[in-house]
Amino acid sequence: MKPIRTERLILRNWEDRDRELFHRINSDERVMEFFPFRRDRAQADAKMDELRAVIDHDGFGFAAAEIVATGQCIGFVGITPTDYLPFLPAGTIEIGWRLAPEFWGRGYVTEAAEAWLGYGFETLGLDEIVSFAVKDNRRSTAVMERLGMIADPASDFEHPGIPDSHARLKRHVFFRLSRREWQARKKAAR
Q: What is the pLDDT of residues 22-39, one digit of tens each?
A: 999 999 999 999 999 999
In the chain, % of residues over pLDDT 90: 91
> Does residue 97 have a pLDDT over 90?
yes
Read off the amino acid at residue 164. D
Which residues of 114-170 form beta strands (DSSP E)?
128-134, 150-151, 157-158
Which pLDDT band holds residue 87 (cuts at 50, 70, 90)? confident
Which regions of the chain does DSSP assign to beta strands (E)? 4-5, 9-12, 62-67, 73-81, 93-99, 128-134, 150-151, 157-158, 171-178
Specify the pTM. 0.95
The Cα–Cα gap between 122 and 160 comes to 32
pLDDT of residue 86: 80
- d(Cα 162, Cα 76) in Å, to the nearest integer? 22
Q: Tens of pLDDT along 109-138?
A: 999 999 999 999 999 999 999 999 999 999
Give the domains, in start order, of the chain with CATH numbers.
4-189 (3.40.630.30)
151-160: pLDDT as tens digits: 999 999 999 9
Is the pLDDT score of 179 beyond 90?
yes
Give helix 41-58 / helix 19-27 axis angle, nearest 10°: 110
The predicted structure's pLDDT at residue 46 = 98
